[in-house]
Amino acid sequence: MNAPARPPHAAPPLSEPTVLMKDGWHCLHLYYKIQQRPLNLMTEAERSAAAAEACAILDPNRPGAPARLLTSVVAGHKADLCVLAMDFDPLKLEAIRHALRTSALGPALEPVYSYVSITEVSEYVPTVEQYGERLKAEGTDPASPAFAVKLKTYEEREVQMRKQRLFPEFPAWPVLCFYPMNKIRDPHANWYTLPYSSRMEMMTEHGKSGMKFGGKVMQVITASTGLDDWEWGVTLWGREPAYIKEIVYTMRFDEASANYGAFGPFYLSYILSPAEAMRHLRVVSS
């Protein structure tokens, strides 16, 4: 007996429930302070063993490691150690946190901040069709060879931009900065009551400001609406510390930030291998 046909306007069947990301990665930022008293209770051999265990947990090349795993040492008193991890599976990221908590070094690691988010492609990244309309608005003749070349170039670049936003490659640069942010809902400047065209125009201006820092700063914006206390997390890699200051200062003059941006705490850190971080933080002497 044949199964009854589905009604013509029935909704498609739902996918199987899952915690895995299908188009992007989960992202977890962890920040710790080193507590000296637990370290003082250990012998030198115990401290070396504890550091070695932590280094194994934080080794990005170990079997079962997240797709991206990075350690850095934090400037200032807010924290000492930063761990940044990304993967399809959020439980793989959480496993890092619990492995550190239950390790021999765990008593000396005080969690002081964390941020939960996912990678995304912003709604303000133009589609190929939207980019074509922008070219027309700028006066490029859609029948001209220049229009076709520009559109084809953008189409190829859009594929790479999408990949980098969803599955980012981390550059081999030494400086890392993280901060969360919102778009404000002030009665006189509410981002969410603006028409899409106005928001798109402002974000286009914002993006052009950021592109001036190509080769100096790399940015990954992760989404956290409904996942953490802020709406986005911004992670910046810099060739030099001054570039971080320059890009944040420059982009704050854009209307999208000047009128509609709200920013959380900034965490600046310097990227080191786990073993280098253990030595820098004086967990081990050598």
| Residue 52 CB neighbour total at 10 angstroms | 15
CA separation, residue 62 to residues 6, 29, 65, 67, 177 (Å): 48, 19, 6, 11, 25
Whether 179 is catalytic is yes
* Token duo for residue 91: 């439980």
Cβ burial, residue 95 (10 Å; 0-12/13-18/19+): middle
Instruction: Please work out, in degrees rounded to the nearest 5, the angle formed at the alpha carbon of residue 120 by the alpha carbons of 156 and 250.
Output: 85
Active-site residue, from 131, 179, 260, 267: 179
H-assigned helices in 102-230: 128-137, 145-166, 196-211
Cα separation, 91 vs 126, in Å, equals 33
* Token duo for residue 225: 């609406």
Q: Which residues are catalytic?
A: 179
